[in-house]
């Protein structure tokens, strides 16, 4: 994953690779099957990487200068669970206002709005 930091005046610097995972060559990510997004899932103010994989959701916590190891944080919302990049919407947003990004999904064929209150501490203890 590449990041280009902004200078605050609309000018961006050079790109930096902050993590090797979350790519086709490192982890087998496939853009037609696996959606990737950024959100602050643990409420520390740093954006984290979130990837919807074949059988689970991966998160790599952001540090401001890089990312930690990939964590498996959620079963479901994944390809095996019927979620398709070209059909279903998956978003990250703080739905319940607790400061932690939640997983929000829309499966059009079911006409049902699904969401998971992403309670980070419940998944990961006292990180």
CB of 105 to Ca ion, least distance (A): 14
Choose, by CB under 5 A, the member of 46, 73, 76, 91 that binds Ca ion. 46
- 104 touching Ca ion, by CB under 5 A: no
Q: Under a CB-based contact definition with an 8 Å cutoff, are residues 105 and 89 in contact?
A: yes
- 35 touching Ca ion, by CB under 5 A: no
Question: Could you count the other beta carbons within 10 Å of the beta carbon of residue 29?
Answer: 19
Q: Under a CB-based contact definition with an 8 Å cutoff, are residues 79 and 31 in contact?
A: no
- 37 touching Ca ion, by CB under 5 A: no
Q: Under a CB-based contact definition with an 8 Å cutoff, are residues 101 and 92 in contact?
A: yes
Among positions 62-101, residues that touch Ca ion (CB under 5 A) are 94, 96, 98, 100
Q: What does DSSP assign to residue 26?
A: T
Binding site for Ca ion (CB under 5 A): 40, 42, 44, 46, 48, 94, 96, 98, 100, 102
């Amino acid at each position: 994953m590449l990041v280009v930091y902004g200078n605050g005046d609309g000018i961006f610097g050079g790109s930096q690779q902050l993590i090797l995972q979350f790519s086709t060559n490192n982890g087998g990510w496939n853009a037609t099957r696996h959606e990737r997004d950024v959100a602050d899932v643990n409420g520390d103010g740093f954006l984290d990487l979130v990837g919807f994989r074949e059988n689970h959701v991966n998160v790599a916590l952001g540090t401001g200068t890089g990312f930690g190891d990939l964590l498996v944080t959620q079963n479901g919302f994944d390809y095996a669970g019927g979620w398709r990049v070209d059909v279903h919407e998956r978003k990250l947003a703080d739905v319940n206002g607790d400061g932690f990004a939640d997983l929000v999904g829309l499966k059009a064929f079911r006409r049902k709005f699904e969401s998971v209150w992403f309670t980070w501490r419940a998944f990961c203890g006292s990180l």
